[in-house]
Amino acid sequence: MLFNSLQFAVFLPIVFTLYWILHRSMKWQNVLVLAASWFFYGCWDWRFLLLIAFTSLASYVSGMMIGRLPRERGRWVMWGNIVINLLILGVFKYYDFFVQSFADLFLGGDANGMLLRLVLPVGISFYTFQALSYSIDVQRDTIKPTRDIVAFFAYVSFFPQLVAGPIERATNLLPQFENARRFDHALAVDGLRQMLWGFFKKVVVADTCALYVDRIFGDMYAYDGATLAVAAMLFSIQIYGDFSGYSDIAIGTAKLFGIRLQRNFNTPYFSRDIAEFWRRWHISLTTWFRDYVYIPLGGSRVRRRRIVLNTFIIFLLSGLWHGANWTFVAWGAYHALLFLPLILMSRNRRYRDTVACGRRLPSLRELMQMIVTFGLATVGWIIFRADTIGQAIRYLYRIATTFSLSKIESLMQPDYRILVLAFPVLIVVEWMNRGAEHEFALQPNRRIWRWMGYIVLIFVILCFAQTNEMPFIYFQF
């Protein structure tokens, strides 16, 4: 079930109404959330429910055992849960990839009889990491093990963020299922506002970009370097609008149920260097790897050689997390190379404030920094978008060798014309809200202007929504 589908438009109001009818009983609210979440997930394939139920049960039981056992024995339970869940993730997501890679290297590409060809369960990387963080935090005494199995299962499978994040921590989300919720009108209104902006980014911006991007990337030799460069920049916008749009819809939907999820994007393309970009892009994943992998490895409080190794480990794992393809590994390595100079010179924490804080416009220096950072990120997105590393290299080569503004493919064709209007709206709104809780938080004081803005956005979304329901990019991860 996609957020941008008629089924979800029917599903959400029904669940919302039943949820608040049950407001006097926290337990029955949790039962409803769990049932709705499993129905939502089962709409893709009911067999996937067996995996998420097993992951939830294994992590729940491991948390209970860790809480009762001495610390050293509890550590073995934690590692047992980690190994079991990573094995499941590895078999479904990476087994065929590594077997085929081995066959390509040593057997001439013949992997017949060795491949499992399993269907990748949607969102498995997200809910696996969410479940693992719980047992790790229980072992660290960051959170006490819960006895409420329904609340825990609801925490792992909460439908707004189940298939594409944010990757929640038990310390934030689980206590919200263990305590009574009361309807908060202001929070619900803010959630609807955030959902509206998320739908605009997904349906109007990202899906329209996809029409141009898919055509150009699908036949790159038919176009000159300038057109390829524009397509690469549009993919940067597409993946941001698609993924951050999903996060906005997920976070906004959760607010309707009195649940607060962590922020997953914070205007990443207004970053002044790559380190700031990674603090603002897919925040829940980057902080997950920081807290559960990078810091336990020693972080940056070790010798320089170890810092280099730790940085590469984090970015390579982050790349591999995204998918079973060497392009994702190469994308991670590319960002590690960009990040290393900053961390070795202790400049990776220079920009922890909001760009142009207290000013309407950025300085010329800040503007150039944002343009350079966007350009570097775009090169990485070419690697990310390509089917093979060779294709990414050829794409970049054609940009460098066939660049000609006179042959650029126009964006003024009917299918793409909305982008000319949508881009300024996207940039202006997000710039004005860059220091707010989310990118559509600040609104005009006068109600008439607010409602005019809402109506225009709804009209545009309905008018320019593609006839086919385009899935979110990160569903494949």
What pLDDT does residue 444 have? 73
Say how far apart CA 401 and CA 386 lie, in whole Å: 19
What pLDDT does residue 389 have? 94
Range of the domain at 372: 186-272+351-476
Q: What is the largest CA-CA distance in the chain?
A: 71
Question: Is the domain of 71 the same as that of 205?
Answer: no
Say how far apart CA 305 and CA 297 lie, in whole Å: 13
> From first to last of its 477 residues, what are the pLDDT tens digits of the chain?
788 788 888 999 999 999 999 988 899 999 999 999 999 999 888 889 999 999 999 999 999 999 898 888 989 999 999 999 999 999 999 988 888 888 877 777 677 778 888 888 888 999 999 999 999 999 999 999 999 999 999 999 999 999 887 999 999 999 999 999 999 999 999 999 999 999 999 999 998 899 889 999 988 998 888 899 999 999 999 999 999 999 999 999 999 999 999 999 999 999 999 999 999 999 999 999 999 999 999 887 888 888 899 999 999 999 999 988 999 999 999 999 999 999 888 888 888 889 988 888 999 999 999 999 999 999 999 999 999 999 999 999 999 998 877 767 766 676 677 787 888 889 999 999 888 888 888 777 777 888 888 888 888 888 776 555 677 777 766
Say how far apart CA 233 and CA 381 lie, in whole Å: 9
Question: Is the domain of 168 the same as that of 211?
Answer: no
Is 322 in the active site?
Answer: yes
Question: Is the domain of 453 the same as that of 385?
Answer: yes
What pLDDT does residue 115 have? 80
What pLDDT does residue 58 have? 94
Overall pTM > 0.85: yes
Question: Is the domain of 73 the same as that of 211?
Answer: no
CB contact at 8 A, 188 and 196: no
Alpha helices in 69-184 (DSSP H): 71-93, 95-106, 124-139, 149-157, 170-178
Question: Is the domain of 198 the same as that of 111?
Answer: no
What pLDDT does residue 414 have? 66
DSSP state of 148: -
Question: Is the domain of 156 the same as that of 198?
Answer: no
Q: Which two tokens stand for residue 79?
A: 């590692």
What pLDDT does residue 415 have? 67
- Examine residue 311 and state whether it is found in any structural domain, yes or no: no
- Examine residue 246 and state whether it is found in any structural domain, yes or no: yes
Question: Is the domain of 89 the same as that of 202?
Answer: no
CB contact at 8 A, 339 and 332: no
Question: Is the domain of 79 the same as that of 221?
Answer: no
Burial class of 164 by CB neighbour count within 10 A (0 to 12, 13 to 18, 19+): buried
User: What are the distances in angstroms from CA 20 to CA 28, 33, 40, 382, 384?
Assistant: 10, 11, 19, 45, 42
Question: Is the domain of 463 the same as that of 403?
Answer: yes
Q: Looking at the 3D structure of the chain, how many domains does it have?
A: 2
**Which of 182, 208, 233 represents a domain boundary (last residue)?**
182
What pLDDT does residue 44 have? 84
What pLDDT does residue 443 have? 77
Q: What is the pLDDT of residues 289-335, one digit of tens each?
A: 999 999 999 887 888 888 899 999 999 999 999 988 999 999 999 99
- SS3 readout for 73-85: HHHHHHHHHHHHH
Q: Which residue has the tokens 């993730």?
A: 89
What pLDDT does residue 412 have? 65
- Examine residue 118 and state whether it is found in any structural domain, yes or no: yes
Q: What is the mean pLDDT of the chain?
A: 90
Question: Is the domain of 210 the same as that of 166?
Answer: no
- Examine residue 97 and state whether it is found in any structural domain, yes or no: yes
Question: Is the domain of 101 the same as that of 83?
Answer: yes
- Examine residue 400 and state whether it is found in any structural domain, yes or no: yes
Say how far apart CA 50 and CA 55 lie, in whole Å: 9
Question: Is the domain of 154 the same as that of 190?
Answer: no
Say how far apart CA 143 and CA 327 lie, in whole Å: 37
- Examine residue 440 and state whether it is found in any structural domain, yes or no: yes
**Which of 156, 182, 208 represents a domain boundary (last residue)?**
182
CA atoms within 13 A on the CB side of 187: 14
What pLDDT does residue 39 have? 94
- Examine residue 295 and state whether it is found in any structural domain, yes or no: no
Q: One-letter amino acid identity for 123?
A: G
- Examine residue 128 and state whether it is found in any structural domain, yes or no: yes
**Which of 182, 202, 236 represents a domain boundary (last residue)?**
182
Catalytic residue, candidates 282, 322, 335, 438:
322
